[in-house]
Amino acid sequence: GSFRDMVARCNDVGVRIYTDVVLNHMTGDHPAGTPTTGDSYFDSGAESYPGVPYSAFDFNDANCHTASGSIEDYGDAEQVRNCKLSGMKDLNQGKDYVREMIMEYLN
């Protein structure tokens, strides 16, 4: 719709548009029922994002072996890959389903 039209008009006059998309995590901690754009709601505590949909099974919690569930040592590649950055819910991109949802979003 309107974004595609804006990009086309910008390109027509020599302006290039670049997007920066963060694909490795969802949100930090927010109460249940927190609204998002597009009239969807999520519950970060339950790792429930019905607008995608993602559930607790789609995150790296089981792969992170720190006491806090967050990165505690940025020199440890395992923690950086599998633990939460600043408490944000880290998607398990090793799962086909998660990658499929990301591809669908980008397309």
| Spatial distance between the Cα atoms of 31 and 45, rounded to a whole number of angstroms | 7
Predicted local confidence at residue 105, as pLDDT = 86
The amino acid sitting at 3 is F
Predicted local confidence at residue 10, as pLDDT = 97
Q: In this structure, are residues 64 and 82 in contact, taking their beta carbons and an 8 Å threshold?
A: yes
Q: From first to last of its 107 residues, what are the pLDDT tens digits of the chain?
A: 788 999 999 999 999 999 888 888 888 877 777 777 666 788 888 888 888 899 999 998 899 999 999 999 999 999 998 899 888 888 999 999 999 999 998 88
Tell the residue number behind the tokens 């029922």, with chain if given: 33
Query: What is the SS3 string spanning the chain?
Result: CHHHHHHHHHHHCCCCCCCCCCCCECCCCCCCCEECCCCCEEEHHHCEECCCCECHHHECHHHCCCCCCECCCCCCHHHHHHCECCCCCEECCCCHHHHHHHHHHHC
- In the chain, what are the domain boundaries? 21-106
Predicted local confidence at residue 38, as pLDDT = 67
